[in-house]
A and B are shown apart, each in its own frame.
Chain A
């Protein structure tokens, strides 16, 4: 027999976003908050991110991932959130009924509000279609990070890295420190996809070459990787004659993250085509009222502090939804203009200041992010450097939303 129970707020995922949302919901007055995590401990990816740089916005100091996670795990405990570990949400219905599987068996939870905080998965080899054989020795960067930092397992001795995402850069340094040789990093784009900080401290510090406009054209090896063919590209096409063989026993992929929104889709939440995460308003409420989203399941963050901040709003919103049965309408539409891939949230209530987050389409210098309504500029924020690798974040005060139905955001002068 399946156990049935209820909770005011159910938070799915115990990473940085889920922990912050759960604690904030409880502190905002929700009677019962349940936090569901499939791993054996809270913290999510932070547990394997043993490098530092977390917390400079929230705590004004650079912490390591495990230290940052421990602070929020303590907050969750102190707020008396009910934490369920090694528990997987198998199903989420449109009217917020969760089916949860754990060692205690199957149970259903009827939730007054749900916060989606499931995070991301890494894009695997199959998603980018590299030709060649299928030997052992091809890993995603996060898998290597998990093996090395949590399980004490080495993956190889000579590594080629495809993609210059942040985890790949961080692991280039980590592999080097632990005695492996990182032959090079190949990036298909004309610019690094990771942060400038990581190019400097993870590659330049260790003289690891970064080849831009370069990809892996073929993987060689029968049982184990024996090498890869690198080739220069024009756009996404290999330039004939530029192929060269690089011997290695490991190919590590750092080619992007995919928000894990299977449960969101089950709950009939609208998904944005660009972010691959839910469409939300400034309360982080999705298209399904009572369902909220935050953290990397919503948009891929480069700074955990911002995921924490948005999760705290999502958690408070969930508590308010349970208390009031509804939230204010968000009728002001946000339009994505030139130079931007997306802007989040996509619609706002105008009742509070909003921290908009966005990513630009290409690197640029000395431009501005411009908010306007009906041709009238509401805010122009100068940006010394813009990069698709760095999420931009711009605050718009409450007063800017008066007498407006639609706001255009664009990169301008």
Chain B
């Protein structure tokens, strides 16, 4: 017996209200999504909700006090605060470049924490 629900895709600001029909642990059909990035999000949201974590970390010896970072893919939604706790007090040494891996395999999620901003050495 399939079920139908609506999930707001959060991948980008378009906020597609995706209609999804699913059964067991598989999606049968989706509608009202503008692009295919929604498909992976909707699937995860139903069976394994994930979020990309973005935050900033202190930089030592840099031209700027902070470097922004993100997980290179989604981590389980219920582990987001735990991930933030693990980063508390962490400092990064300048220079930092976009894409540099700052923390590999963040709290064992398989996702790497990478820099999203260039910070030159002071």
Binding site for B on A (CB under 8 A): 47, 50-54, 56-57, 60-64, 66-67, 70, 148-152, 166, 177-178, 195-201, 205, 302-303, 384-385, 390
Contact A149 B52 (CB under 8 A): no
8 closest Cβ contacts across the A-B interface?
Answer: A56-B12, A50-B68, A197-B15, A196-B15, A66-B117, A64-B116, A201-B10, A197-B10
Contact A50 B37 (CB under 8 A): no
Contact B98 A67 (CB under 8 A): yes
Bound-complex Cα distance A308 to B31 (A): 28
Binding site for A on B (CB under 8 A): 8-15, 17, 32, 35, 37, 51-56, 58, 64-66, 68, 70, 77, 80-81, 84, 98, 116-118
Residues of A close to B65: CB separation below 8 A: 150-152
Contact A64 B17 (CB under 8 A): no
Taking the closest CB of chain A, its distance from the CB of B94, in whole angstroms, is 14
Known: A67-B98, A149-B56, A197-B8. Contact between A62 and B15, CB under 8 A? no
Bound-complex Cα distance A200 to B9 (A): 9
Contact B14 A303 (CB under 8 A): yes
Residues of B close to A200: CB separation below 8 A: 8, 10
Contact B11 A62 (CB under 8 A): yes
Bound-complex Cα distance A56 to B53 (A): 17
Nearest B residue to A61 via CB reads B37
Residues of B close to A64: CB separation below 8 A: 54, 68, 70, 116
Offer 18 A-B interface pairs, CB within 8 angstroms, sorted by A.
Answer: A50-B54, A52-B70, A53-B13, A56-B12, A56-B37, A62-B52, A66-B68, A70-B117, A149-B66, A152-B56, A177-B55, A177-B84, A197-B8, A197-B14, A205-B80, A303-B14, A384-B17, A390-B15
Query: Apart from A178-B84, A201-B10, A303-B12, what 11 extra A-B contacts exist at CB < 8 Å?
Result: A50-B117, A52-B52, A56-B35, A60-B37, A67-B117, A70-B117, A150-B64, A197-B8, A197-B12, A197-B14, A205-B51
Nearest B residue to A151 via CB reads B65
Contact A197 B66 (CB under 8 A): no
Contact B68 A149 (CB under 8 A): yes
Contact B116 A195 (CB under 8 A): no
